Amino acid sequence: MKDVRRAASSGANPRESARTHSPDAQQRVAERASHLVLYHFEGCPYCARVRDAMHDLDLDIELRDIRVQRAFRDELLEGGGRATVPCLRIGNAAGGFRWLYESSDIVAYLRQRFSK
Ligand SMILES: N[C@@H](CCC(=O)N[C@@H](CS)C(=O)NCC(=O)O)C(=O)O
Q: Pocket of ligand 1, candidates 44, 77, 102: which has the most ligand atoms within 8 Å of its Cβ, to mutate?
A: 44
Position in ligand 1 atom list of the atom nearest CA 83: 17
CATH topology of domain 2-114: Glutaredoxin (3.40.30)
Position in ligand 1 atom list of the atom nearest CA 43: 10
* Confidence at residue 9, expressed as pLDDT on a 0 to 100 scale: 42
Q: Confirm if 46 and 103 have CB atoms less than 8 A apart.
A: yes
Per-residue pLDDT tens over the stretch 8-65: 444 445 454 445 678 888 787 778 899 999 999 999 999 999 999 999 999 999 999 9
Q: Where are the domains of the chain?
A: 2-114
* Confidence at residue 3, expressed as pLDDT on a 0 to 100 scale: 36
For ligand 1, the distance from its centroid to the CA atom of residue 61, given in whole angstroms, is: 20
Q: What is the pTM of this model?
A: 0.83
Residues whose CB is less than 8 angstroms from the CB of residue 65 and which lie 6 or more positions away in sequence, other chains included: 40, 41, 42, 72
Per-residue pLDDT tens over the stretch 61-97: 999 999 999 999 999 999 999 999 999 999 999 999 9
For ligand 1, the distance from its centroid to the CA atom of residue 52, given in whole angstroms, is: 16
* Confidence at residue 20, expressed as pLDDT on a 0 to 100 scale: 63
